[in-house]
Amino acid sequence: MDFSDPAGAFGQGIYTSSSSAKAAHYNHGTGVLFLTKVVMGRPYNVTGFGQVSSCPSGYDSVLYDPPNGRNETILYTDDAIRPVFLIVLGE
């Protein structure tokens, strides 16, 4: 959380996605991705960007699942995510 951007679409959090295309968007051209295990707990579902700027009371994460399949799960605590693999993209 210390390194997360407070200007994110759903506030300061750890942004994850099961979509490789969405995840690659977040790596900012570094060619590095983490495959992680995520504990969502009780997710708060949103239908568009900017609907929340922090995790609502009584929930553990925020889930944005648009029709294009580029979903996002936003976590607001370091304890909810664990890296499993480091993936280095290259030629």
CATH number of the structural domain spanning residue 21: 3.90.228.10
Q: Is 52 part of any domain?
A: yes
CA distance 21 to 31: 12
Q: Is 5 part of any domain?
A: no
The confidence score (pLDDT) of residue 91 equals: 59
pTM, two decimals, is 0.87
The stretch 18-33 carries a mean pLDDT of 84
Domains of the chain: total:
1
The confidence score (pLDDT) of residue 17 equals: 92
Query: Residue 68: is its pLDDT beyond 90?
Result: no
| Partners of 16 in the β-ladder | 73
Q: How far is C-alpha 61 from the geometric centre of its chain's CA atoms?
A: 9
The confidence score (pLDDT) of residue 28 equals: 80
Residue 15 banded pLDDT, cuts 50, 70, 90 = very high
Q: What is the overall mean pLDDT for the chain? A: 91
The confidence score (pLDDT) of residue 69 equals: 83
Q: Is 79 part of any domain?
A: yes
Q: Is 22 part of any domain?
A: yes
Q: Is 3 part of any domain?
A: no
List the domain range (segments joined by +) for residue 41.
14-88
